[in-house]
Each structure stands twice: as C-alpha cells, then as structure tokens.
Amino acid sequence: MADQRCKQIFAMLSDFVDGELPFRNCRALESHLKDCQPCIAYLESLKTTVKACRSYRVGRIPAFSKKVKAALLAAVQQTNKRVSRKDAK
C-alpha cells in the first residue's frame, strides 16, 4: 500500500508527464522516484497510457443515412415544439 508521500506523488504525475509541474515539484518528485518502485511502475503505466491516447486518431466519421437524418430532424422539431409551448405559458 502506498504511503502518504506516494499518494502525493501519484497526484502530481499527470502534470509531470504533461510538462506542467513546477520545477521545485519536479525535483522532489524525481528524488522520490529514485527509490520507489510502486511510483516508478505507476509513472511508466501513465506514460504508456498517455502515449496511446495521444496516438489515437479517429477515422473519418461516416455520413448519416437519410433515415438517421430524418429521425434527428424530427427529434429537433419535436423538442422545439415542446420548448415553444413552455415559453407560451
């Protein structure tokens, strides 16, 4: 189980990986990481996750079919009618 210091380190690691952690905190974090295997393992896991998320690219989104477009338009129109009725009251 991680001690209190490890919990503090865990909270800083995301900013550290993103390069957003203040320098003074980086030095303390790096010092802690020299001797803490659980924190090192967590950092490596976080780096892998961030790298995977950054490399993920959404492909081209297919166009809606005519049936889907019609259903969306009908839903918007129905919502607009309800809103108009509430505004009229």
pLDDT score of 54: 86
- Contact between residue 17 and residue 54 where contact means Cβ atoms under 8 Å apart: no
- When pLDDT is cut at 50, 70 and 90, the band that residue 1 belongs to is very low
pLDDT score of 43: 93
Structural domain spans, the chain: 4-55
DSSP 3: -
24-67: pLDDT as tens digits: 899 989 999 998 999 999 999 999 999 998 888 877 888 889 99
